[in-house]
Copies of this chain bind each other. A is one copy, B any other.
Amino acid sequence: MHERYANEEIAKIFSDEHKVRLWQKTELAVIEARANLGIISSAIFEAIKNFWLNAPINIDWWKKRDKEIHHDLNAFIDERLLCLPNNFHQFVHDKITSYDTEESAFIRMLIEALEVIDELEGVLERNLKKFSLAYRFTIMNARTHGQEAEMQSLGARGLTWLKDLSTAYYALGIARKNLNFSKLSGAIGKYGSIPPEVEKEALRILGFDPFYGSTQIMPRVLYAPIANALCDIALVIDKIANDVRLAARSGNPLMQEPFGKKQKGSSAMPQKKNTIRTEGLERNGVMAKGYAAMITDCIKTWEERAIHQSGVERVAWPDLFHIVADSLKVLNGVISGLKVYPDNMLKEIYESRGVYASSEVKEFLKKHLCNAKYNLKYEDVYRIVQLACFNVFEPSKERMEIRTEVAYSFEKSAELLEKTAQLLRKETVIVSIEEFIPLAALRVSEDLDIPEERMEKYNLALTVLFQDMDGRYKREVMDEWHELFTPVFLLKNESVLYKEILGQ
C-alpha cells in the first residue's frame, strides 16, 4: 500500500519478519504436540525450540534460497535446518505440507489485523455516540433525494450513521468466527501422513480448532465474508463521509471537516476549504470493493488446490486492511474535529418556508377536511399542500424577470448580477406555508396540473377551516396548526431512538 494510506501496525502484521515467526510457531507446535502425545520425547522439542529461539531467522538467506527453489516455505525449512544438528532434521516439518505451516500463520495475521480494526472502530463508535448526544437538539432539515424533507436533529442523523456502522461491524464480528479453525491435515487434507490427534493437539497449542474437510488448504469460502464485511465498513464510512461532503457544500455550509491552520485548499484558489478528507473516504470505498472482489475470486480453485489464491492474498488482504484502517482513522478525525454550524442549519430551516412540516400539515388537513362537511378526498388534500408548497417558492416578479431574461453576452451577465445583488439586499421577507395555507390563497402553479375550479374549491375549504365568518383566524385551529411547525412537536419521537440505541 502506498505510504499515504498505509497503517503501521497492519504493515508489521503482514511483514515477512512476522510471517516467518508465525511459521516457526506452527512448526514448533507440531513438534510440541508430538511430545505432548508421547510420540517423541519432550527433550527433542525443548532442544529444537532452544536452537531456534537462539538463532534468529535469516531473512536474506531465506529470500535467496526461495529464488533458487521457487518455494518459499521449503526455503524457510531449509533456513531453519541450518542451525539444527542433523539428527534433529527428521522431526522438522515432519509429515506435514507447506500449507499446514502457512494456514495457521495466515489466519493468525487476519486475527491480528482485525484487532487493529476493532480498536479503531471502537473509537469511531464512541465518537459517533458522543456526536449524537452533543447535537441531540440541534435541528436541521433532513434530506431525501437531496431535497429538504422533514425536520430532524443532527444528533438523530448521527444515530443513523452509528447504526450503519455498527450493522457492518456486527457482520464482521460474525464472519470472523471462521478464524477459530485451522488445519494440519497434510498434502491433500486427508491426514495421509499426520495423525488427526497431532493436528488437534498442535492446533490447540496455536489456539485453533481443526477444520474437518479441508483440502491442501482451508476452503477460501471461509474468508470471503470477512473481506466483504471489511469492504462494507469502508462503504458505510463512505456513505457517512458523503453526507458530510453534501453538508459542506459552500453557500450555506452546515458542517465542515477540520481544516489545518496551515492547510492550503488549492494552489490556485486560496479561499478553498476542500473536503479532501471525506473525498478520500470515497477513494477507500472504491478500492475496498476491488480488493474484496479479488479475494472472492479465490473461492474457486482446482480440485485439492491450485495456487492463484496465494498471490492474491499476499497483496489484497494487507491492502484491504490498510484501506479500512485508514477509513476508520480518517473518519475518526473528521467526526471529532467536525465544525458544525447550527446557525446555518437554522437559516436553512427558516428559508425552507415550513415545508419541513408538510407531512404533518397534510395529516392535519386530512383530519379536518376529509369528511362530509368539506367533502375532499385524500388526493385533494395532498394536492392542496403540494400547491401551497410550490406557491410559497414561486419567485417574486423581479426575480422572475431575472430568471427569464437570457444573457446574450457577459456584459449582460454582469448587469443581471448587479440587478440580483440589488434585489437581494431588499428581498428578505420569507413566507412559509405556516402563514400561507391559512391565508387560503393557493395560486395556479405551472408545475402542477390542477385546474382553476379545483383550486378554488381548495381555497374555499381552507377558508372555512381556518377563518371565521369575519375572516379572522380561528384561535383553536391556529394553535393546533402552529404547533405542527415546532421542533418539540415534530421531533417528539426521536427520544425513542436515543433510548433504543444509546439507552438514554
For residue A264, CB closer than 8 A to chain B, the reply is yes
In-complex Cβ contact of A190 among B77, B346, B491 (8 A): B491
For residue A303, CB closer than 8 A to chain B, the reply is yes
CB distance from A307 to the nearest CB of B (A): 5
- Residues B163 and A219 in contact, CB atoms below 8 Å apart: yes
CB distance from A238 to the nearest CB of B (A): 5
A501 partner residues in chain B, CB cutoff 8 A: 212-213
Give 1 or 0 for each of A249-282: 1 = CB within 8 Å of chain B CB: 1111000000111111111111111111001101
Which residues of A372-418 have CB atoms within 8 Å of chain B's CB atoms? Answer: 372, 375, 377-379, 382-383, 385-386, 389-390, 395, 399-400, 402-403, 405-414, 416-417
For residue A343, CB closer than 8 A to chain B, the reply is yes
- Residues A493 and B163 in contact, CB atoms below 8 Å apart: no
A151 partner residues in chain B, CB cutoff 8 A: 192
- Residues B143 and A410 in contact, CB atoms below 8 Å apart: no
Give 1 or 0 for each of A231-249: 1 = CB within 8 Å of chain B CB: 1100110110011011011
A480–B9 CA distance with the chains assembled, in angstroms: 51
Identify the closest chain B residue to A77 (Cβ).
Answer: B267
Identify the closest chain B residue to A212 (Cβ).
Answer: B500
In-complex Cβ contact of A417 among B160, B232, B350 (8 A): B350
A406–B236 CA distance with the chains assembled, in angstroms: 28
A219 partner residues in chain B, CB cutoff 8 A: 160, 163-164, 167, 236
CB distance from A356 to the nearest CB of B (A): 9
For residue A36, CB closer than 8 A to chain B, the reply is no
CB distance from A208 to the nearest CB of B (A): 15
For residue A472, CB closer than 8 A to chain B, the reply is no
A246 partner residues in chain B, CB cutoff 8 A: 146, 249, 302-303
A366 partner residues in chain B, CB cutoff 8 A: 89-90, 94
- Residues B291 and A307 in contact, CB atoms below 8 Å apart: no
- Residues B286 and A294 in contact, CB atoms below 8 Å apart: yes
For residue A463, CB closer than 8 A to chain B, the reply is no
For residue A225, CB closer than 8 A to chain B, the reply is yes
- Residues B303 and A142 in contact, CB atoms below 8 Å apart: yes
For residue A86, CB closer than 8 A to chain B, the reply is yes
- Residues B142 and A5 in contact, CB atoms below 8 Å apart: no
- Residues B308 and A139 in contact, CB atoms below 8 Å apart: no
Which residues of A72-91 have CB atoms within 8 Å of chain B's CB atoms? Answer: 73-74, 77-78, 81, 86-87, 89-90
The stretch that binds B, out of A49-57, A95-103, A118-126, is A95-103
- Residues B420 and A146 in contact, CB atoms below 8 Å apart: no
Q: How large is the interface on A (under 10, 10 to 19, 20 to 34, 35 or more residues)?
A: 35 or more
For residue A134, CB closer than 8 A to chain B, the reply is yes
A186–B266 CA distance with the chains assembled, in angstroms: 11
Identify the closest chain B residue to A399 (Cβ).
Answer: B343
- Residues A212 and B496 in contact, CB atoms below 8 Å apart: yes
A426–B435 CA distance with the chains assembled, in angstroms: 20
- Residues B359 and A193 in contact, CB atoms below 8 Å apart: yes
In-complex Cβ contact of A382 among B97, B187, B270, B304 (8 A): B270
In-complex Cβ contact of A71 among B192, B211, B264, B296 (8 A): B264
A409 partner residues in chain B, CB cutoff 8 A: 137
For residue A26, CB closer than 8 A to chain B, the reply is no
- Residues A139 and B304 in contact, CB atoms below 8 Å apart: no
A362–B95 CA distance with the chains assembled, in angstroms: 9
Q: Could you name 17 residue pairs across A and B whose Cβ atoms are closer than 8 Å?
A: A71-B266, A73-B267, A95-B268, A144-B304, A153-B413, A160-B189, A160-B219, A195-B493, A212-B497, A213-B497, A251-B352, A268-B362, A287-B311, A287-B315, A343-B399, A343-B402, A414-B487
Name 19 extra pairs, CB < 8 A, besides A142-B187, A164-B219, A271-B433: A69-B264, A70-B260, A71-B267, A144-B215, A146-B250, A146-B275, A147-B250, A147-B275, A152-B304, A186-B359, A224-B232, A232-B296, A251-B251, A271-B386, A279-B306, A279-B308, A283-B308, A421-B430, A426-B428
5 A-B pairs with least C-beta separation: A163-B213, A191-B493, A271-B389, A261-B449, A97-B268
